[in-house]
Amino acid sequence: MADKATQIAALLTPTIDSLGLELIGVEYLPSPGSAVLRLYIDVPEADSAAGRMVGIEDCESVSREVSALLDVEDPITSHYTLEVSSPGVDRPLFTAAHFARFVGDTAKVTLRLPQDGRRRLQGRIVGVEGQTVRVELAGIGGLPVLVEIAIANVEKARLVPDWAALGYAPSKESKGRGSKSATAPKKQANPKPAAEGPTAAE
C-alpha cells in the first residue's frame, strides 16, 4: 500500500476490529478536485471457515464508524468519496499473508517495476517466504516458469476466480458478483444512507 493508504489503514484498523471485522486493505486514489478512499473488509478467517460472510449491513456499519473517525482525524483534506466493500470473488491481495492464505490459487499481479521486461503477470501462487511470493507462470510451450516477486514490488494483485468451480461462466452480469459495498461521498453536508440492492450510498 502507498504511504497515504498505509497511514489511513493504521488509523482505521482498531475501529474496524472493534466491529468484529478485518480491514484487509486500503486503496487511496487521488484525482484533481476529488479522491476515492476504498476500504476492503472481511470477516475473521475463523468466522469465514464457519460460513459467515460480509453483508451490506457490515459495510454500512463500517462506513458510519469510519466516517465519524475520518471527520475527526481529517487525514484527507480534499473532497473524497468513501467506499467500503467486501473482497468479492476476485479478492485483492495486499500482504504476504494474503498470498500465503491462497497458495494454489491463480493471481493477477501488476508490478511497480518490471521483472524480465514484464509488469503484468498471471500465474498460480506456489509459496511465500518472508516478503517474497513465488508464482508459477505458463512459459513457452506450456512449460511452467517460476518467478519470485517481492511484496514491496507489487502495485496491485487480485485472485483470478475459478468460474467453473464457482458453477458459472464469466459474463457482464457476473462481473463483480459476490462483492458488497457501501459508498459515502465525503466533505459534503448532511450525507444520508440509502440502501439499494447489494450496495449502499451515503
Render pLDDT for 58-96 as a digit per residue (tens, 0 to 9).
Answer: 999 999 999 999 999 999 988 999 999 999 999 999 999
Distance CA 90, CA 73 (A): 32
Contact 148, 131 (CB under 8 A): no
Distance CA 189, CA 50 (A): 40
| Ranges in the chain, pLDDT < 50 | 173-175, 188-202
- Domain at 3-89+176-201, CATH homologous superfamily: RimP-like superfamily, N-terminal (3.30.300.70)
- Would you kindly state where each structural domain of the chain is located, as residue ranges? 3-89+176-201, 96-161
pTM higher than 0.75 for the full model?
yes
Q: Which CATH class is domain 96-161?
A: mainly beta
